[in-house]
Amino acid sequence: MNPQSPSGLLRRAARRVLGRAASSGAAGTSAVAGPDAVEVGPRWLRVGDGYAATLAVTGYPAEVGAGWLEPLLSYPGRVDVAVHIDPLHPATAAKRLRKQQGRLESARRSSARDGKVDDPETEAAAADAADMAFALARGESKLFRVGLYLTVHAPTREDLDADVAEVRSLASSLLLDAQPAAWRSVQGWTSTLPLGVDLLGMRRTLDTPALAASFPFTSPDLPATDPSPHAPLTGRLYGVNASSNGLVLWDRWGQDNYNSVTLARSGAGKSYFTKLEALRSLYPDPHRPTPEGEVGVQVFVIDPEDEYQRLTEAVGGTYLHLGSPEVRLNPFDLPPGAQHIPDALTRRSLFMHTLLSVMFGEPLSPQERAVLDRAVTDTYARVGITGDRRTWSRPAPLLADLADMLTADSDHTGDPAGADVAARLAPYVSGSFSGLFDGPTTRAPDGHLVAISLRDLPDEVKSVGTLTALDAVWRRVLDPHHRRRRLVVVDEAWLLMHQPEAAKFLYRLAKSARKYWAGLAFVSQDAGDVLATDLGKAIVSNASTQVLLRQSTQAIDTIAEAFRLSDGERAYLLAAAPGEALLLSGTNRVAFHAVASDAEDEVITTDPQALAGLDADEEDLEP
């Protein structure tokens, strides 16, 4: 064979490379374990009984997330992934960044001077360089020279070509540009051996966050609460991980608090996701004890649009149409087990201040508060309920009794404030809205799933109805002799956030829910208004579980700032399909798609087309 032929040159290069690798990677040893023979080709190697080809990654995505190399590491075939890392000294890194920024800026000015269209790649590179420079100057990050190489193994040449094509396609789906190490197959193969040598030298500068996300022990899946191999799975199935196709299991009851916030634009699937979690919360949990005769979590829902009716009826729950003539909730009712709550009567008095403020659409004046506080106490006393706990089991008064007491107080003291408050209460006592409060409570909100509908209420009293329903639910949560896990879902919570006093009430519930083994699920499509207020931000910050679905372009800036979203997460939420969401909890962030079984979908869907098909099927089944 001609020693100067390409094949001969490759063989000689292979001997030199292997000898260099042996001396640098295994210094002090006389031999290196390896194959008995190596046959070298332009883009492949025959190593022992198999073939290998090396790909060098030359192009990277602009942004990476945790576990971004997981698809390559979990490839079903045999692929060796090698990451070579060399840290850059801060002074050297800063100097190189300044030079790079200067070259990019020069290129931009040259294009502008010549009247050329801006190059998107140059603009993106300039922005990245500026961000790196600021992070480096503040000591928030360091720079590293990183080389990423992939060696694909296969038993035959044909299989190798097919596997290389698949790996390159997989890399392309990750926005990685993987090129064959043509005429450098030996150097590429050696660079992926556990020798610590990089003979290809095809490096890219990465900062600390990007490098940390590249390590193989970083996964896009959520970490297990208990990492031991025999630990039981806990939590509820939220959906499928968008990055790894694994299952997203989340346990809100294992977090610092049990509250959640779900924000999305209309039609993004927030109610579908919320109903799915509520349904799965009813399932028994074998790993958590429950009182005898009870299973799962007790779920309460404030339903503004009758979206939970089919679900409630399907599971045999309690559904209350607030606003119907036969359905009333008396705000004067003391909570069950009130005798064991020392300040139960005081809490009722304070709640009446909140309720009247929402009814009137503005906070009460100090004079009105004083008159109301005295009148509420006298109203309870009229029916025999006093500070003596033994009297707290007696029937509660009604709103009409309070109006009468306010009028009587005004006549007795000559203070017109009482008569004025009674006059403003007239629509709720004897006027257009009296059906909500003109009698005692007709049906207590008890059951494993309780949904209180607000659809039959006029728009003018939706906020009042929401507050009244939420208060009736909360009285059940406060029962000290019937403790169990409870989930309180407030759908379209923006109805309350528009009223300052109602927003304060919701905030107090969010702060105290954990003490009573309860979680508040705050669901709203008006993300901008929620995050525009201090109380809204406080409710969000008091939720350990935060779920974001598709957002509108008008609200994305506010959302991105409040939740510190990356550019990739921001783009994901702008383009998310219905049911695609981002779960945030502390340092845990995962994108997922909510999935339901056919049986679950049948009872939770609100898609008009799907409902029409279900109605048609039911008609066909009728005799």
Minimal CA–CA distance to 106: which of 129, 84, 88?
129
Q: What is the DSSP string of 292-312?
A: TT--S-EEEEEESSSTTHHHH
pLDDT score of 245 more than 50: yes
Residue with tokens 């009716």: 309
475 and 519 together in one domain: yes
Nearest to 284 by CA among 224, 226, 225, 236: 236
Same domain, 462 and 564: yes
29 found inside a domain: no
Mean pLDDT of 310-334: 88
pLDDT for res 217: 61
Residue that is last in its domain, among 402, 418, 440: 440
Q: Is the pLDDT of residue 113 over 90?
A: no
Q: pLDDT tens digits for 514-549?
A: 988 899 999 998 887 788 888 888 888 889 999 999
Among 604, 550, 612, CA closest to 307: 604
Supply the CATH number for residue 372's domain.
Answer: 1.10.8.730
- pLDDT for 622 equals 54
* Torsions phi, psi for 520 (to 5 deg): -100, 120
| 22-58 pLDDT per residue, tens | 444 444 444 455 677 888 988 999 988 899 999 999 9
- Residue 277 is predicted with a pLDDT of 93
Domain match, 497 and 561 both: yes
For residues 561 and 414, state if they share a domain. no
Average confidence (pLDDT) over 332-358: 86
Mean of pLDDT values over 102-113: 79
- Confidence at residue 4, expressed as pLDDT on a 0 to 100 scale: 46
* C-alpha–C-alpha distance, residues 489 and 607, integer Å: 21
Domain co-membership, 355 together with 453: no
pLDDT at 171 over 60: yes
Q: Is residue 156 part of a domain?
A: yes
Report which of 565, 575, 598, 581 is spatially closest to residue 241, judged by C-alpha positions.
Answer: 581
Of 264-268, 342-346, 522-526, 616-620, the least confident: 616-620
User: Cα(548)–Cα(264) distance, rounded to whole angstroms?
Assistant: 6
- Smallest CA-to-CA distance from 93 within 104, 101, 82 is with 101
> How much is the pLDDT for 10?
47
**What residue numbers bound the domain in which 10 lies?**
1-21+35-60+74-82+146-201
Instruction: State whether 448 and 578 are in the same domain.
Output: yes
Q: Tell whether 576 is covered by a domain.
A: yes
What pLDDT sits at residue 209? Answer: 82
Residue with the larger pLDDT of the pair 321 and 291? 321
- Rounded to two decimals, the pTM is 0.70
Q: How many domains does the chain fold into?
A: 4
Last residue of a domain, one of 98, 125, 141: 141
Closest by CA to 485, choosing from 517, 512, 510, 447, is 517
All residues at 6 or more sequence positions from 187 whose CB lies less than 8 Å from its CB, including other chains: 17, 181, 199, 200
For residue 548, which of 596, 493, 587, 591 has the smallest C-alpha distance? 591
Task: Give the confidence band of 166 by pLDDT, cuts at 50, 70, 90.
Answer: very high
Question: Using H for helix, E for strand and C for coil, what is the string for 523-548?
Answer: EECCHHHHHCCHHHHHHHHCCCEEEE
Residue carrying the six token digits 């692929």: 79
Mean of the pLDDT values across residues 236-262? 88
Min mean pLDDT across 74-78, 104-108, 353-357 is at: 104-108
| Summary mean pLDDT of the chain | 83
Range with the lowest mean pLDDT among 75-79, 201-205, 435-439?
Answer: 435-439
Same domain, 436 and 581: no
Please tell me whether residues 502 and 365 are part of one structural domain: no
State residue 81 phi and psi, 5-degree precision.
-110, 120
In the structure, what pLDDT confidence band is assigned to residue 227 with cuts at 50, 70 and 90?
low
Residues 370, 485 share a domain:
no
Q: Is residue 157 part of a domain?
A: yes
Is the domain of 154 the same as that of 56?
yes
Which has more pLDDT, 155 or 19? Answer: 155
Q: Are residues 187 and 105 in the same domain?
A: no
18 pLDDT exceeds 70?
A: no
Q: What is the pLDDT of residue 3?
A: 42
Are residues 448 and 322 part of one domain?
A: yes
Tokens encoding 236: 């509820």
Per the CB < 8 A criterion, the answer to whether 421 and 372 are in contact is: yes
Q: Does residue 280 have a pLDDT over 80?
A: yes
Closest CA to 208 of 90, 32, 369, 362: 90
Q: What is the mean pLDDT of residues 343-360?
A: 88
Separation of alpha carbons 58 and 216, rounded Å: 20
How far apart are the C-alpha atoms of 542 and 563, rounded to whole Å?
13
CA distances to 45, 149, 151, 152, 260 from 200, in Å: 16, 9, 13, 16, 50
Whether residue 289 lies inside any domain: the answer is yes
Structural domain contains residue 236: no
| Per-residue pLDDT, 549 | 93
Q: Name the domain boundary from 440, 462, 479.
A: 440
CA distance 579 to 40: 51
Is 612 exposed, middle or buried, given 0-12, 13-18 or 19+ CB atoms closer than 10 A? exposed
Residue 119 lies in a domain: yes
Structural domain contains residue 26: no
Q: Which has more pLDDT, 301 or 340?
A: 301
